[in-house]
Structure 1
Amino acid sequence: MTNQFHFQRTNQSTIIKKYIFSFLYSHSSFFDQHRIQRYQNRSYIFTVQPYSVRIELYQRNQQEQLNFIGLWQYPIHFDYLPVFHLNKILRLNDLSLFNISNPCLSNPCYYPNEQCHQLINDPKKFICLCQTNFTGENCLIKDQQCTNGYCSTKALCKPNYRSLLKGNTFPFCICSFDRYGDRCEIQHDICQFNRCLNNGICVPESTHKIFCLCTEFFFGDRCQWKKSSFHLILESQIYFQGVVIQYFDIDFISFDLIFLHQQVYEILPSSLQYQHHQNQMPAIVLARLYTSFHISPNLYLLSLHIQSVSIDGKTFISQDNQCSHIQQLS
C-alpha cells in the first residue's frame, strides 16, 4: 500500500506538521497462516520481517522534474499483533559525516536497471530499487503501461507500488506539486486564485490548500502582515570581549520580561536590524557586555518603546544607560 504527501523544509515553514497514515495487512490465507506461525515461534522475528515501511523522498528541480533524494526503511517486527504503531521524525542527514562506508560503493545492485540506495536511518544497509518504468526480478522487465505514457509528463511511473490489497494491475504515479489524480493527469494551479501578497512565493500543497513563502519583511498565511522594523545605530567606547543583544516584551499584569530574541556578537556592529513577527516592536532592547568571560556582564538599556510599530534611531553604550544592579539601589 502506498501513500503520497508533500512537505516544506523546516527553514521554509513555521508550521510543524504531523502526517498519520494507516496501512492494512493482507488477509490472504497465506499471510494469515504466516502470522500465526510467527506468533507461535518468535525466535526469528528480529531476523526475518515480511513487512516494512519504506519512505522515499523526491525533490522537484528547476525543470520541474522529480529527483530521488533518499529513503528510510523501518521493519515491522511484530506483524502478528492486531495493530503496530510506528512513530518517526524523519531527518535528512548527510551520511558522509557519520564516517560509515557507503555499502553502495561495492556496486551490489549490478543489474542495469537497478539502483542502489543507502538507508538514511541505517547507513550500513542498502536496498536495490528499480529505475522508473522497470519491474520484476532484478528489474529486467520494462512495464509497457509506463512506456506507453500511463503517467502524465514529468511524473514517475512505478510498477508494483500499488500493493497486493489494491492490486498491481496499474502502475503507481508519483506526481509533482501541481498535479493530482491516479495518473497525475489533473493539473490545478490553485495559486492562480489564491495569490500570496507582497511578492510572496505560492507553493500548492493540495488542490485546495497553498503555502506562502514570504519575503524578509512580511509574514502571515498570505504574507499580508508587515514585520515590525527595528534599526538602531550603535556607538560604544567601552572595551568588551563579547556582546549579547536581547529583545523583550513586557507582561503588564506580572511585570515580567518576556524573552523574544537575541543576537550574539564578538565585535559590536555599527547598527542593529531586526524584523519582528508581530505588529509592534519589542518593548525593551538590552545589551549584555562581557569584559571578561569570568565576570558577570554589564547590562545596558538600548531601547524602551511601548507599542511602537517601528524604531529607527541612534544610541550610545555608555555609563548613562548602564543598568545598575539591584543591590546598588538599596
Structure 2
Amino acid sequence: TKVDSTCHNGRDNNLANDSCSKAINCMIDFYDLFDDIWCQEFCSGMDCIQDYCPSLLNFSSSILFRHVQILFNNSQFTIEPNEISLPVYICYDERLCPDFLPATISLNSSSCRHFYEFELEKADTFFSLMENINNLFRTCLIEPNETHYCNHSNMYQCKNSTKCISKYRLLDRIQDCPLNDDETYNASCSLSDVHRRFSCSIKSYRTCLASLLIEDRTKDCDNGEDERRIDELLVENHIYFQTICDGNRDLLPVLIDGRYETDETECQFWLCNNTYSRCDRFWLCKNGADEVNCPFSNCSEFEHSCIFPNDTPKVSCLPINQAGDSVIHCLGATDERHITQYNDGYRFLQRFKCWNDSESVSSLSLCNRKPECRFGDDEIFCNYKRNSTRSMCSDENSFSRNEMENFFCYNLDTVKQFKLIYFKLLSMPLYLTQSIADEISSEKSIQTTAQSIPVDPLARMSQMDQWQCNHGIPIRIRIDSTRNETHCLCPPSYYDDLCEYQSQRVSLTIQVRVATDWRNVFSFIILLIDDNEIIQSHDHIEYLAIRDCDTKFNVYLLYSTRSKNISKNYFIRIHAFNRLTLKYRASWIFPLKFLFLPVHRLSVLLKVPVLDIQPIQTCIHGQRYNYINNQNSTFCQCESGWSGAQCSIEYRCDCAPDSLCIDRSICVCPLGRFGSRCYLTQSSCQLKTCINNGKCVPGDERYRLVQMNKSMCICSEEYFGNHCEHRQTRIDISFHSKLIIPPSLIVHFITISNETYPIRSSTMKKISWDQHLLTFNTSIRFHIAFAEMFNSYYLIILREQIIVSAIISTQI
C-alpha cells in the first residue's frame, strides 16, 4: 500500500485522535515502521508525555475492551526495559461488571478502583500488564438487561452472576466467569460437544478439554498427552507386544483396580532375556543376561567383555555372576549399566562412570587429552597418535582406534531402544498329535503360450488434430488409397462432430454383494426405461464374486431422444441371470427422482439373494415377479420372443440358439460367448488350461486393464491355484470326550513371515447336532491354526514349514 493511499472506512489512519494518546503510543512502540518515522518527528524528546498529557493521563487502546480506561500519574510514567509504571486507577463501565467489580471511587463520573485493589499478577512488560488487565475484564462482559439467551441449551450461566457464555468456551484456559467456574467445571465429558473435546486425566480426574488447548505448547493433562502429536498418541495407546517391559514406557497410564498401570509396571514377572531383548546392546536384565553370547562378543557364553582398571591395555572377560551386583569391576562401570544408563525419552544413552566418583563422562569427551575424571581414568586407555581433532568415536577415527577405544565407542554409543522383530517359528515341533500327509501334485507343469498380433503403427497426427476432438479421440478413416479423413470418436457422455456437447445421461455406479455363489458367474442386464416400459438404452456387466468382490462398475445410459422427454418418468431396471445356467435370479428397480438434472448420478448396491426368486402370478406370456428392493412393485418377465408390460407383443428372436432373449435387441450370452447376438466366441479361455475339473471364466475386457491373460479358473471345492493345480488342505477336527461340541466352530489361520506382520484369516463352520467330527477344506496357506469355541481358544496345528496342501487330522 502506498503512503498516500487512504481507506474509505478510515482504517488507514493508525494514529490516535488526541496528542496525549499519540505520545503514549509512540513511547510504547505501538505503531509500525511507517508510524515510527512519524513518532520521531512528533515525539523526539523524553518529556513528550509530560508535554502533551495532563497530570493524570488516560490510556485506552484497541487491545482493551472499549469501556476500560487506565489512569497513570504523568510525572511517574516511564517505560524502561526492566521497569514499567503501574497505573493509579482503572475505570470501567460498572453496569457490565455488577457481580464482582463494584466501584470504590468515582472520577469524572466514571466508576473506578485503585489499581492495587485488583491484585493482578506482576507484569514484566507493558504489554503483559495490558494482557493481565484484559483477562480480568473479560470476565465481566455482560449485556445489561439481556438474560433471555441464558435459557438456550448451549449456554452456561456463571455462578453468582447473570453472565452466560457458550458451553464451547468451558475449559479453554480463558476465564470468562467472575468466579472462574468455567475453568473448574467438572462435568465437561457430558457436554454435547464432547466428540470435539480432548479427553484425559487432570489431577487424576477425567476431563474433556476444549480443542484449542491441544498442541498449544502448554501441558494441561497429567501425562502431557494434549501436547503429543497424533502419531505419538497412537504409539502410546497401541503398543507392540515386544515393547512390554523393555525399559521404556510407551503406554499411557491406565487406572486398573485403583492403580495406574503401564507397559512397565509389574515387570518383575516378565522375562528380561527374551526374543525381543536379545543382543540389542541394551541391558534389560540387571546382569546383562540378554547381552551375553552375542555376535559382537569375544567372550564365552556366560561372560561379558570388560576392561579391568588394573589391566587397561586389553579387553578382558567378566563372569556374568559378577555383573549387576552393585560392585564396579570394569572401567567406566560397564558391568553396572543400571547406574550409568539413562533415557532422554527418545533413546537410551550409556555414559562412562569415573572410578570412585559420582561423575560420569560422555563418549564425546573420552580421549580428548583433557581428563575429566578425578583419577584420569577416562584417558588411561587412549591412543594419542591420532592427528584428528574430532572425538574418538567419530567415523573419521574408526580405523585408528585401538581395541579398548572400540569397546567404549560401541558400548557408550546411542542405543536404539526399539527394533521391530517379527514373529518367527524356529525349531518348533509338530503340534498337537496330528496325522499330516503332505500331497504334491503329480500333474505336469502347465505352460501356455500366446501368439502376439502385429499392429500397424498409427498414422501420425498433428497436435491440432489431437486437440480438436475435445473430449473424444481423433481417428483416421481411409477414403481411398490416397485420401483419409479425421473424425472424432466420442465417449457416451459427449456428442457432435467434435465431441463438444455433453449428453443427457444417467451415470450409474454398481457394486454387487453375494452371500454364496462365490464361484458362479452372474450377468446383470441394466435397462433405462420410461413409465411406458420403453427401453431407452441398455448395458450389461459380468460378475464373479471371487474376482469382482471389491469392483465398482461404472455405466453410462443415454436417453433415446436428445433432449430427454421431461414429461415422462424414468427408471433403472436391473435383471440378474446365472450365466452358467442362464436361469433368472432377481431384479431391482430404481426411479430417477431428479429429472431436471442433465446428468443424473446414481450409486446402487445389489445384494443377490441366495435362491432364485419365485413368481407371484403369471402374465400372458411370462411370469410376474416382485422387485428385490421394492416388494410393492411388480413386473412381467417375458418368455423369449415376447415383450411389453403384459408380455403380449410378439417379436422374432435373433439371438444365438443357446442364448436367452430379453427383448428384440437384448441377448444374454452363455459363458464363453459374446456379441450383440452371442455369435462370437471369447478366445482368452482357449489359452487357459484348467485342470481337476476346473472351469475357465473369461474376463470382461470393458472393465479391466488390457492383459494377455484375461481369464481365470473356477476350481472345485477340493482344488485351488491359477490352473486348479493344488489340492486344498483337508482338516479333520475331532473333539475330546469331556468337551461339549459347539453348534459352530471358528478356525483362525496364522501365516508367519520373517519380514512382515503375521497374517490372520478366519473361517466359521457349522456343526450339526449328530456330528462328532468336523471336516472341511481350505486353500489358505498357514503355519498355525487356532480353534475358537465358547470364548476359548485351542491350538490345533503348528508347523514350522508353511502348509500348502495336506490332509491333517487333529483333536481339540
Question: Shorter-chain TM-score category?
Answer: 0.5 to 0.7
Distance 1:225 1:251, change over 3 A: same
Report if the CA contact (8 A) 2:659-2:670 is conserved. Answer: yes
Equivalent residue for 1:151, pick from 655, 673, 680: 655
CA RMSD of superposed structures (Å): 4.0
Distance 1:307 1:89, change over 3 A: same
Report if the CA contact (8 A) 1:104-1:126 is conserved. Answer: no
Q: Which amino acid aligns with 1:223?
A: C
Which residue in the other structure is 1:181 paired with? 675
Q: Which whole-Å CA distance do the structure 2 matches of 1:96 and 1:158 have between them?
A: 17
Distance 1:203 1:300, change over 3 A: closer
Q: Which whole-Å CA distance do the structure 1 matches of 2:575 and 2:547 have between them?
A: 23
Q: Which amino acid aligns with 1:222?
A: H
Uncovered stretches (5+) of structure 2, i.e. residues with no partner: 1-536, 702-708
Q: CA deviation at 1:269?
A: 4.8
Which residue in the other structure is 2:589 paired with? 73
Give runs of aligned pairs for residues 194-233 of structure 1, distance below 5 A: 194-206=688-700, 209-227=710-728, 229=729, 231=731
Q: Which whole-Å CA distance do the structure 2 matches of 1:140 and 1:245 have between them?
A: 55
Other structure's SS at 1:4 match: strand
Distance 1:262 1:74, change over 3 A: closer
Q: Which whole-Å CA distance do the structure 2 matches of 1:237 and 1:129 have between them?
A: 55
Q: Which whole-Å CA distance do the structure 2 matches of 1:29 and 1:252 have between them?
A: 62
Q: Which whole-Å CA distance do the structure 1 matches of 2:624 and 2:811 have between them?
A: 61
Which residue in the other structure is 1:116 paired with? 624
Which residue in the other structure is 1:24 paired with? 558
Report if the CA contact (8 A) 1:53-1:76 is conserved. Answer: yes
Give runs of aligned pairs for residues 7-86 of structure 1, distance below 5 A: 7-8=543-544, 10=545, 13=546, 15-16=548-549, 17-28=551-562, 31=565, 34=566, 50-59=569-578, 66-86=582-602
Equivalent residue for 2:785, pick from 276, 285, 305: 285
Q: Which whole-Å CA distance do the structure 1 matches of 2:712 and 2:541 have between them?
A: 14
Which residue in the other structure is 2:749 paired with? 247
Other structure's SS at 1:7 match: strand
Distance 1:192 1:54, change over 3 A: same
Q: CA deviation at 1:223?
A: 2.2
Other structure's SS at 2:796 match: strand
Q: Which whole-Å CA distance do the structure 2 matches of 1:197 and 1:117 have between them?
A: 40
Report if the CA contact (8 A) 1:157-1:174 is conserved. Answer: yes
Distance 1:231 1:123, change over 3 A: closer
Q: CA deviation at 1:267?
A: 9.0
Q: CA deviation at 1:125?
A: 1.0
Q: CA deviation at 1:275?
A: 2.9
Q: Which amino acid aligns with 2:543?
A: F
Q: Report 1 or 2 for greater relative contact order, CA contacts < 8 Å, sequence distance ≥ 6.
A: 1
Report if the CA contact (8 A) 1:52-1:73 is conserved. Answer: yes
Which residue in the other structure is 1:2 paired with? 538
Q: Which amino acid aligns with 2:716?
A: T
Distance 1:261 1:269, change over 3 A: farther
Which residue in the other structure is 1:293 paired with? none
Other structure's SS at 1:89 match: strand
Other structure's SS at 2:558 match: coil
Q: CA deviation at 1:134?
A: 2.8
Other structure's SS at 1:5 match: strand
Report if the CA contact (8 A) 2:784-2:798 is conserved. Answer: yes
Distance 1:284 1:121, change over 3 A: same
Distance 1:173 1:272, change over 3 A: closer
- When normalised by structure 1's length, the TM-score is 0.62
Report if the CA contact (8 A) 1:195-1:222 is conserved. Answer: yes
Q: Which amino acid aligns with 2:587?
A: L
Q: Does residue 193 of the first structure (1) align with residue 695 of the second (2)?
A: no
Which residue in the other structure is 1:41 paired with? none
Q: Which amino acid aligns with 2:714?
A: L
Report if the CA contact (8 A) 2:713-2:723 is conserved. Answer: yes
Report if the CA contact (8 A) 2:585-2:611 is conserved. Answer: no
Which residue in the other structure is 1:128 paired with? 636
After superposition, give the CA deviation of every residue in 1:153-200 in whole Å (9 maximum; x if it has no partner): 13334446xxxxxxxxxx333322232222222234643331213331
Report if the CA contact (8 A) 2:685-2:698 is conserved. Answer: yes
Report if the CA contact (8 A) 1:232-1:311 is conserved. Answer: no
Distance 1:153 1:211, change over 3 A: same
Report if the CA contact (8 A) 2:586-2:609 is conserved. Answer: no
Other structure's SS at 2:712 match: strand
Distance 1:269 1:244, change over 3 A: farther
Q: CA deviation at 1:226?
A: 4.6
Report if the CA contact (8 A) 1:134-1:140 is conserved. Answer: yes
Which piece of structure 1 moves more, 242-251 or 71-80? Answer: 242-251
Q: CA deviation at 1:55?
A: 0.7
After superposition, give the CA deviation of every residue in 1:99-138 in whole Å (9 maximum; x if it has no partner): xxx9944x6x5xx335422111111111235432234675
Q: Which amino acid aligns with 1:236?
A: H
Q: Which amino acid aligns with 1:124?
A: N
Distance 1:267 1:285, change over 3 A: farther
Q: CA deviation at 1:76?
A: 0.5
Q: CA deviation at 1:202?
A: 1.9
After superposition, give the CA deviation of every residue in 1:23-64 in whole Å (9 maximum; x if it has no partner): 123453562xx37xxxxxxxxxxxxx61111111223576xx
Q: Which amino acid aligns with 2:780?
A: H
Q: How many pairs does the alignment contain?
A: 263
Q: Which whole-Å CA distance do the structure 2 matches of 1:87 and 1:287 have between them?
A: 40
Q: Which whole-Å CA distance do the structure 1 matches of 2:562 and 2:714 have between them?
A: 47
Q: Which whole-Å CA distance do the structure 1 matches of 2:811 and 2:622 have between them?
A: 66
Q: CA deviation at 1:85?
A: 2.0
Q: CA deviation at 1:71?
A: 1.4
Q: Which whole-Å CA distance do the structure 1 matches of 2:808 and 2:649 have between them?
A: 70
Report if the CA contact (8 A) 2:699-2:711 is conserved. Answer: yes
Q: Which whole-Å CA distance do the structure 2 matches of 1:7 and 1:89 have between them?
A: 13
Q: Which whole-Å CA distance do the structure 1 matches of 2:611 and 2:739 have between them?
A: 44
Q: CA deviation at 1:7?
A: 2.5
Report if the CA contact (8 A) 2:580-2:671 is conserved. Answer: no
Q: Which amino acid aligns with 1:118?
A: N
Q: Does residue 302 of the first structure (1) align with residue 302 of the second (2)?
A: no
Q: Which whole-Å CA distance do the structure 2 matches of 1:252 and 1:215 have between them?
A: 32
Other structure's SS at 1:192 match: helix
Which residue in the other structure is 2:313 paired with? none
